[in-house]
Amino acid sequence: MQDSESIARREFLKTSVLAGSGIFAGSRLLTDGGHEVQAAAQPAAADTVAIRLRVNGTNYGLRVDPRTSLLDLLREKLDLPGTKKGCNHGQCGACTILVDGRRINSCLGPFAYTRAASQQAAIQAVAQDNTKFLAGGTNLIDLMKENVEQPSRLVDINRLELTRIVEREGGLRLGALAKNSDTANHRLVRERYPLVSQAILAGASPQLRNAATNGGNLMQRTRCYYFYDVTMPCNKRQPGSGCGALEGFSRIHAIFGASRQCIATHPSDMCVALAALEAVVNVEGPQGARTIPFADFHRLPDDTPQIDTNLKRDELITGIDLPAASSVFSSHSYYLKVRDRASYAFALVSVAAALDIRNGVIHQARLAMGGVAHKPWRATAAEQILNRQRAEESVFRRAAEAAMQGAEGTEHNRFKIELGKRALVRALTIAANGRSA
Ligand code: SF4
């Protein structure tokens, strides 16, 4: 693959349907069944676009929804069932066809692919409309397969020099492209910030952690069922369409900070630990570098649930700083995750508890919760109760009560309020006892 823009698979539909530029006109497409196609694009209409095709010497003119995959077009519009529909996720190979002699999976939606050779090039490239960075791809590619996200262009940033984990000003800088598994197992992370290591290892599966990056972990999107079901209304996926979860099944949804527009939760475990440790996100954009305190990185839904973070569209996350001051919690921190199955699931409730205990007294406490809000939820009222108190269960219970004040559940997720209290007490107890990664 070249470092400059390259033609991605399913380029056929991108060029003939989406772009409407006709730049692919005249290219030939051969299915395994020997179908030969030539295509030319017409100017786009509101919801469908007109295309002309030449398949096995036969010309076709038709209008299609731009989201139509090449596979569906061949099978359903042109009645060419020789190309099979298998997993419909670009994995099984049943939909393989040949375009100008190249094998492609025809079931996926069209997009262009660019590999960035420098941070500057990446920032420039992502400024184009409907363009996304591609790092580990463990969430984005799923979203594309489900038609939840349909970027016209992916900017692959995997070759950028952002993979290192280095000491900086007494703390650690986690490279944005360091893999989650490398971060969790890094000696200095485990020694100084075991909470981060524990949280990462509580998330996903080993395979996913090996692929997922730190920056991508911050950018992952909610796992709300209705967000992934494109037949359902969802203000996050399609602003103004409504919220399927409000009247639907809301077991995994928010009990803090929700709005009438969206009650989704943030799915990350790592981010809960980063919130408790008051990490700082380093970003780079056209105007240069800036930092974002972790508490300000993710947003509550309010009236714009489609916007998850305060990262600008043309900014690149370059690293995450763990402050030196937060290493005081290394001996007394614990990440507790409560989920429906132990092997692989998102948190119903999670707690990142970090205590600085001196002579049995809590000098400073940090608490953050996951699975309860649209962003990692810092329990500052509970922290105030813990500070300067003895590290004992009665204090933990009072803190837990304070932490859950203001929680509002639905009929399906009200259980999270009591679960949250119990999880807080348990996490604080384990942290106080000095358990670490
Ligand atoms: Fe969409 Fe948010 Fe409602 Fe889920 S909770 S359906 S993400 S708007």
Which backbone phi and psi does 88 adopt, to 5 degrees? 60, 20
Count helices and strands (H / E) in the chain. 15, 18
Distance CA(267)–CA(208), nearest Å, equals 14
Which range, 161-170, 342-351, 426-435, has the best average confidence (pLDDT)? 161-170
| Residue to mutate (ligand 1; options 139, 143, 227, 346; most atoms within 8 A of CB) | 227
Q: Distance, CA 265 to ligand 1 centroid (Å)?
A: 9
- pLDDT, tens digit (0-9, with 9 covering 90-100), for 397-410: 999 999 999 999 99
Distance CA(45)–CA(178), nearest Å, equals 43
Residue with tokens 């823009």: 5
Q: Distance, CA 141 to ligand 1 centroid (Å)?
A: 20
| Residue to mutate (ligand 1; options 149, 226, 246; most atoms within 8 A of CB) | 226
Structure confidence at residue 89 as a pLDDT band (50, 70, 90)? low
Distance CA(219)–CA(213), nearest Å, equals 10
Which domains occur in the chain, in start order?
11-107 (3.10.20.30), 114-156 (3.30.43), 165-432 (3.30.390.50)
Q: Distance, CA 262 to ligand 1 centroid (Å)?
A: 5
- pLDDT, tens digit (0-9, with 9 covering 90-100), for 37-67: 444 443 344 467 777 776 777 788 888 876 6
- Indicate the pTM of the whole model: 0.82
Residue with tokens 């419909």: 88
Distance, C-alpha 201 to centroid of its chain:
17
Residue with tokens 């295509």: 39
Length of the chain: 437
Name every residue whose Cβ is closer than 8 Å to that of residue 202 and which is 6 or more positions away in sequence: 269, 335, 337, 347, 350
Q: Provide the token pair at 38.
A: 């030539």
Q: Provide the token pair at 206.
A: 């080993």
Residue 225, ligand 1, Cβ within 6 A: no
